[in-house]
Amino acid sequence: MNQSIVSESARRSLKFRREYHLAGECVIYLLDGLPEHLNISNIVDQIKKCIPENLLYGLDAIYIGNYKELAERDVESVYYAGAIYIKPSQKSDEDLVSDIVHEIAHSIEENFSHMFSLSSIQSEFTKKRKTLYDILNNNGHKLDKKLFLDLNYSEELDNVLYKEVGYNKINMLASNLFISPYAATSLREYFANGFENYFYKSKLNGISVKDMFSTCPKLLNLLYTLTDSE
């Protein structure tokens, strides 16, 4: 991400509508009004309940606002340089919290790198990527295998999985590989998707993490490492 989104937040810093203390030095800034069906107090409470305070170390702020760059990139949220930027136009409180928790995972990659390395789950993710390629190839999708061997984010692969194949079909053909299809996007997203489900969605939906991560044991062990740091 370039510097423009940070510059925009600086220009609007005196126009914050409301601010909410989350933990430590982390503050949620509501720059634009939320849709009527969203409740900011409930959103803040849900984040406080699901994320241990120590895991917010290094996260300076969460900005909820109608950023032009988010709209141009057609994304709901991003983590950049110690802050999370997120659109207020979400379907529910839970959707907004899920996106924030997902971006918190990306901040943890940066701020807790002394505790863990994504290389610990690399072999697990690589095996799943290769299996996904084989499944899709055997079901009529003639795709470039090189895309599935690159563990970094690729917009081309993202579009293949989301638009060309479709998440519904991936769920149908390979539901036992990933907790959700988006986790196949990259190694970083595999971790962030797991973090989001471990700390939030498993509790929201009343699902045992051992059941949820039954086919992702290395990912679960990595998340246990973060839990042990509480």
Q: What is the pLDDT of residues 14-28, one digit of tens each?
A: 455 689 999 878 999
CATH C-level class of 4-111: alpha beta
Contact 154, 147 (CB under 8 A): yes
Asked if residue 195 lies in contact with residue 102, where contact means CB atoms within 8 angstroms, the answer is yes
Question: Residue 169's closest CA among 130, 128, 141, 127?
Answer: 141
What was the pLDDT predicted at 24? Answer: 79
Q: What is the pLDDT of residue 14?
A: 45
For residues 179 and 193, give the distance between their C-alpha atoms in angstroms, rounded to a whole number.
Answer: 8
Top-confidence residue, 116 or 85: 85
For the segment 162-172, what is each residue's pLDDT rounded down to a tens digit? Answer: 999 999 999 99
User: What pLDDT, on a 0 to 100 scale, did the predictor assign at position 23?
Assistant: 84
Cα distances from 61 to residues 8, 178, 187, 210, in angstroms, run 14, 30, 25, 32
pLDDT band at 229 (very low <50, low <70, confident <90, very high): low
CA dist 35 and 120 (Å) reads 41
Q: Give the per-residue pLDDT at 1.
A: 46
User: In this structure, are residues 22 and 49 in contact, taking their beta carbons and an 8 Å threshold?
Assistant: no
Side-chain-facing half-sphere of 101: CA atoms under 13 Å: 28
Residue pLDDT, tens place only, 168-211? 999 999 989 999 999 999 999 999 999 999 999 999 989 999 99
Asked whether residue 78 carries a pLDDT value surpassing 50, the answer given is yes
Q: Looking at the chain, which residues constitute the CATH 3.30.2010 domain(s)?
A: 4-111
